[in-house]
Structure 1
Amino acid sequence: MCWDISLHTDIELVKVSYPKIRDERKKKDYNYDYFENVQAITFPEYPIIMKDKDSDGLALVDMEWGVLPTYIQDPKLQDNRRRSMVNARSERILDDKKSYWYRLRNQRCLIPVSGTYEHRKINGWKKKVPYYIAEKGRDIFYIPGLYQWHETVDQDGVVEKLGSFGMLTRAANDVMAQIHNDGPNKHRMPLFLPEDLEKLWISHNISEDDMRAIFHFEMPKDSLIYHPVYTLRGYPNRPDDKHRYEPFNWDGLPPLGKDKPVENTLF
């Protein structure tokens, strides 16, 4: 399951990809150090490209990561359920017409990222090693998602419209299966797409057959860059003072595909 993403390139590059987009963000001055590792577990606010449900327009808006299950009233149960709605399995969206995701299928969005992170289990090591993954040759790219709007009322009776989104995933390709090799959602990866399919996903006239074609696209491993990085959890400082997404040399880390037990006192 993809719970960590990075946006360390200028968000204004979105306007190069989509020149006619409306910028409706509440806050436009970003701390890109913070955006180097955005974790879904806290339902963070994040900029996404939203396709208006009833028009051809696109808007850059702030929404929270993790679709809010508005059908659940208890706050604790709602949060628990929401954690499972951070990501959406693309292969299930059209096949279960009673699902929440099917109802959102026409509320499509793109999630701008510089890259994503995933954790690899190493035999004999206590903790997993995080990897940074990105598309080759692209400073910023876009992962497809689904969004929804809902309304909240504060203690003063003021109604506010809020948005939330989920990221689409698919079965992992060869290299991602070796990195995301453990856990209840192992062998999954974000639905990485080439530029033409990104634009198709966010277009107004898209059929369910088009959607299926997008869901079946598998990004070739040769189109990705990937390398181990320093620990992400708990926001620890890197001992070398480099950015979170830069390569980190873990002593004794076996190459992908060779997960033999290795001694490592750092874990």
Structure 2
Amino acid sequence: MATALITGASSGLGLEFAWQLATNRHDVVLVARDEERLTDLAGQLHVAAGVQVEVLAADLSEQEGLDRVAARVADREQPVSLLVNNAGFPVNQPFVGGDLDVELRALDVLVKAVLVLSHAAAPAMVERGRGAILNVASVAALTTSSTYSAHKAWVRTFTEVLAVQLKGTGVTATALCPGLTHTEFHDRADIDVSGLPDIAWLEADQVVATALADVRRGAVISTPSLRYQVASGFLRAIPRSAVRALDTTGLTGMRNRWKKD
């Protein structure tokens, strides 16, 4: 039976990935900081889907945690056939005058962890001649709303580079680029999205189902929903000066507003 390792598996898209993969008969390795929450989820998945579930509690912003997860991903005796780099980190602050430690931790989780875990996974997958790496980026990669946009732009381009280098090996790399999605992310990050229209939102189950279907067909970029495909095409087509102007006026930057007391 194939095994998928999912980072950020305790909530949001990661939780949905865990359920959809388990119910599709994948054994799963669940990675997140909250061991109690992961253990509860592991029990539910095992009972509901009858698959093997491994819990690996780790903070990917810490080197020790990242190293343990990388070692598990690279383990030839317990091969991982699908790596889902999903762990998130909200950056709901301006860069100028913001907390540098927050920025560095975000960089570790959103960029460094993706790099390190992909580097650990790819050689073992290439040796077996099969496997897939799914990196969660964002439509925000095409905007300039915060340093989060810069991190996700790196993930998107990195995944494209990886896909080129893996061509012909039987291993694929896919960047998932969703738009706004109903999860716990915004509430837990204390980000106010109350002003956003209902049409802007996607459902987590639809996003994950689209992502997994795109992984199966070897797509490099996965953008769930026609409306975000159109929005992405628009953002790629217009001059970057126009993109910056949109964020300056708050049309896309509003997704990173933080709540006032």
Give the TM-score normalised by structure 2: 0.32
- Flag the structure with more relative contact order, 1 or 2, with Cα contacts below 8 A and sequence separation at least 6: 1
TM-score normalised by length of structure 1: 0.31
Higher helix proportion, which one?
2
